[in-house]
Amino acid sequence: MKQLLLFIGLLTSMNSTFAQTVKVGGVVTDEDGTPIELTAVRLEGTLIGTVCDLKGRYSLKFDRRDSVTVVFSMLGYQTRRRTLIRPQGNIRLDITLPSIHFELSEVSVSERRRQTGATQQIDVAAGKLMPDVSGSRIEALIATQAGVSSNNELSSQYNVRGGSFDENLVYVNGIEIYRPLLIRSAEQEGLSFINPDMVQSVAFSTGGFEAKYGDRMSSVLDITYRKPEKAEATATASLLGASVYAGVATRDKRLTWSHALRYQTNRYLLGTLDTRGEYNPGYLDYQTYLCWTPSRRWELSVIGNIAENKYQFQPADRYTRFGTIDHVQTFKVYFDGREKDRFSTLFGAATATWHATEATALTLQASAFRTREQETYDITGQYWLSDTEAADDIGVGTYMEHARNYLNANVQRLSLTLHQQIKSHALQAGAEIRRERIKDRISEWEMRDSAGYSLPHIPDGPELSYALRSNNRIQSTRTSLYLQDSYRFRSPAGLFTLIAGIRGSYWSWNKEWLVSPRASLALIPTFNERFTLRVAAGVYYQVPFYKEFRDTAMVDGVATVVLNRHIKSQRSLHLVAGGDYHFRMLNRPFRFTAEVYYKALSNLIPYNIDNVRISYYGRNLSRGYATGLDMKLFGEFVAGTDSWLTFSLMKTEEKLFGKWLPRPTDQRYRLSLYFTDYFPGSRRWTMNLKATLAGGLPFGPPHSGRETALFRTPPYRRVDIGLSYNFIRRSELSAQRFGLHHLWLGVDVFNLLNISNVNSYYWVTDTAGSRFAVPNYLTGRRLNVRLTAEF
């Protein structure tokens, strides 16, 4: 009996102890009902606290007391407090945090969420009215970011921290995007895959990115297409082309469908080049995005794309003045012949996502890409290189260029991805298999004759100065796996975000296995929550794709392409450290960002760049490094607008044949400004200005090896400005009557200062062997008029 009473007393004591513990949990959302991740939840006056997971959920445990105040805080949102009187048991407490709005006449601007990883979110709307020559507004926006460079306004390609164009990953809705492979000049390039009218969000990383992204050495651009919530449309027309977008959604929003059609021609711009003739470029692109949610657990989507880029050119003559003020030279050419290129691509993808539970999702994705490319030209030119002071011809001669290049490529991909939320851990795992088939048939040569002597000059007769042939078929399979965890936790030091993962891959062509560990850590310190500090490190590989492993061997005096089965993936070790500082100046929000980085490069495949064509050596011959500092000041330079100023310092070199050489992308400095303003007293007028000042790039004679690239191009300097007037706004009665949201009329001035930037060089050689580099200038000043209607 005594033991029974003792046992009952123990149970009573335990029950009393458990009754002392209180558990508070719930979901934190914004005014639209969207969960707010990373919200800090704490008990006022104590060290007890937690942080919301990716779905805005939180849970707190504490000992029972008379009263307790729960504080909810998140940057960009108003802080909320809830006082609980004599709390006990389990309590459900859901909170809505209103955004912090700064009312500026008719404009309302909100602060933005923190960047706690290596990937930054870029506001698409900020570049909606940006003056852009290439027609690729998203890439033009990326090119203004710190660490990014682009020295050709006609191209949508960009370099990141010393990497080449081929080292950048681009995703749309989780699917890797390819571009045509034979393109040698920006005039041929046409439209990029990304349609800015369909974009919902843009995520971009300049290095240290996560394991879920594939094998590239420089950057990731992750695009998400939007699902329309109701009927909407956009139409734009300008001197450079036109585009139409339309999206519809059912009332329950379970079915959405978007269509977009674009046409662009840069004939108007090419008229400013030194080479005159009949330019006939035309780029056509159609995309569709269908999304269906048949139930709460299932989501199905399809993306389709058809692109047809054509470029025809019949040159007539060219006149170029170059040199210095004291020593001016002229280059005159009279042409015969024509060029005809065609790049046809098809792309399709289907995605099925099963939400097994609120915390578990499984995604199956299949995609296919096909490209048919042809580049043909026969051009003869008779040239005169003259010295204006001596009134004498330095070089006189004829050159012939010929090409019959054809390429077909097919890529099929199948992937399975798992997303699992476990408390503060967000786990991701994925597997992918990719099948590639590429067939090329390339024949191109060049012959130069100066004053009747073929160059190079040989006694027995004429010889080609350059010749290349290729007839190859490539068929290979790539497989990859990755596992990644995102973990958020709070300590007395502050709020931490740890993202760590590992990626493995195998390529059947060279039977190479790769392992790529990656990690990043971010801290919002308790001592000053205006700071966000970040570090990242990882091993990144550049797996060869077609161009990189095309080695050459001399056969009867002709460079013949031989596929290198012993090629290895290029490797880059990323070390990145930096952070953000949020502050207010003139009662407006600003953010200053700075990052330092070092990339150790090995197994490099050297290459040369001519215009936008990258020619690889086809062998792992060098090692190198890239190091630099990126800084960005972002904020409301003018109240109610977004502007930013970036400045980058960078140096990249490689050791080739025992000698350290600057890499082709070694641009030592870059200053970029994107500035938005309104006319005083009127929000209808908007001015957008984009300015760039960047250092020159290494260059040398063509087909002569990297070790001869001892010269540098002049600095790249360009200013584009756009002025837009909004005739109709959504709030006006006329807009409501016709369903218009906005009607913009804009005028752009490209290359406002009419600076002659150098794209590449044409080399002229006389019989004495002296070489002269004649600059190929980019486009001059041009005026563009555009009209945009948003419904």
Instruction: Report the distance separating Cα 153 and Cα 158, nearest Å.
Output: 10
Model confidence at 220, pLDDT cuts 50, 70, 90, reads very high
Q: Do 200 and 148 contact (CB within 8 A), yes or no?
A: no
Instruction: Report the distance separating Cα 743 and Cα 22, nearest Å.
Output: 56
- Judged against a pLDDT cut of 90, whether residue 433 lies above it is answered with yes
Instruction: Report the distance separating Cα 42 and Cα 56, nearest Å.
Output: 14
pLDDT digits (tens, 9 = 90+) for 87-106: 888 889 999 988 764 333 33
More confident site: 126 or 616: 616
Would you give the DSSP letter of residue 748? Answer: E
- Residue the block writes with tokens 């934190």: 28
Would you give the DSSP letter of residue 269? Answer: H
Tell which residue, 655, 661, 658, 663, has the closest CA to residue 623.
655
More confident site: 407 or 128: 407
| Rg for the chain, CA atoms, rounded | 30
The residues with which 397 forms a beta bridge, in sequence order, are 383, 450
Model confidence at 6, pLDDT cuts 50, 70, 90, reads very low
Highest mean pLDDT among 127-136, 699-708, 742-751: 742-751
pLDDT at site 767: 58
pLDDT digits (tens, 9 = 90+) for 719-728: 999 999 988 7
Q: Do 643 and 674 contact (CB within 8 A), yes or no?
A: yes
The residues with which 364 forms a beta bridge, in sequence order, are 352, 416
The residues with which 172 forms a beta bridge, in sequence order, are 175, 223
3-state helix, strand, coil in the chain (%, to 5): 5, 65, 30
pLDDT at site 18: 43
pLDDT digits (tens, 9 = 90+) for 535-547: 999 999 999 988 8
Instruction: Report the distance separating Cα 554 and Cα 573, nearest Å.
Output: 35
- Residue the block writes with tokens 């990690």: 519
pLDDT at site 734: 54
Instruction: Report the distance separating Cα 569 and Cα 574, nearest Å.
Output: 16
What is the identity of the amino acid at 336?
A: D
Would you tell me how many other CB atoms lie within 10 Å of the CB of residue 225? Answer: 20
- Judged against a pLDDT cut of 80, whether residue 76 lies above it is answered with no
Residue 670, burial from CB neighbour count under 10 angstroms (0-12, 13-18, 19+): buried
Strands 360-387 and 392-422: antiparallel
Q: How far is CA 662 from CA 618, 630, 655, in A?
A: 19, 19, 9
294 SS3 class: coil
CB crowding 280-308: b at 16 or more within 10 Å, else e? ebbbbbbbbbbbebeeeeebebebebebb
Instruction: Report the distance separating Cα 209 and Cα 137, nearest Å.
Output: 23
Tell which residue, 634, 633, 635, has the closest CA to residue 588.
635
Q: What is the phi/psi pair of residue 777, to 5°? A: -85, 155
Number of helices and strands in the chain (H, E): 5, 49
CB crowding 345-367: b at 16 or more within 10 Å, else e? bebbbebebebeeebebebebeb
Model confidence at 12, pLDDT cuts 50, 70, 90, reads very low
Q: Do 93 and 58 contact (CB within 8 A), yes or no?
A: no
139 SS3 class: helix
- Residue the block writes with tokens 């001592």: 527
Instruction: Report the distance separating Cα 317 and Cα 631, nearest Å.
Output: 44
Instruction: Report the distance separating Cα 506 and Cα 513, nearest Å.
Output: 5
Question: Which pair of tokens denotes residue 527?
Answer: 């001592």
Residues 3-26, mean pLDDT to the nearest whole number: 57
pLDDT at site 729: 65
Q: Would you list the DSSP string of 398-427?
A: EEEEEEEEEEEEEEEEEEEEEEEEETTEEE
545 SS3 class: coil
More confident site: 556 or 235: 235
- Residue the block writes with tokens 């218009």: 740
What is the identity of the amino acid at 253?
A: K
SS (H, E, C) 147-176: CEECCCCCCCCCEECCCCHHHEEEEECCEE
Tell which residue, 785, 712, 720, has the closest CA to residue 754.
720
- Judged against a pLDDT cut of 80, whether residue 735 lies above it is answered with no
Q: Do 170 and 223 contact (CB within 8 A), yes or no?
A: yes
More confident site: 14 or 518: 518
SS (H, E, C) 245-286: EEEEECCCCCEEEEEEEEEECCHHHHCCCCEEEEEEEEEEEE
Tell which residue, 95, 145, 46, 209, has the closest CA to residue 647.
145
pLDDT at site 527: 87
Q: Do 245 and 287 contact (CB within 8 A), yes or no?
A: no
Model confidence at 388, pLDDT cuts 50, 70, 90, reads confident
Q: What is the phi/psi pair of residue 367, to 5°? A: -145, 160
Query: 301-305, 427-431, 630-634, 682-686: which has the minimum mean pLDDT?
Result: 682-686
20 SS3 class: coil
- Judged against a pLDDT cut of 60, whether residue 616 lies above it is answered with yes
Tell which residue, 639, 761, 651, has the closest CA to residue 695.
651
Highest mean pLDDT among 123-132, 262-271, 510-519, 683-692: 510-519
Measured in residues, the chain has a length of 791
Q: What is the mean pLDDT of the chain?
A: 86
493, 499, 500, 501 alpha-carbon torsion, rounded to 10° = 170
pLDDT digits (tens, 9 = 90+) for 152-163: 888 888 999 999
pLDDT digits (tens, 9 = 90+) for 179-197: 888 887 777 888 889 999 9
Instruction: Report the distance separating Cα 778 and Cα 754, nearest Å.
Output: 10
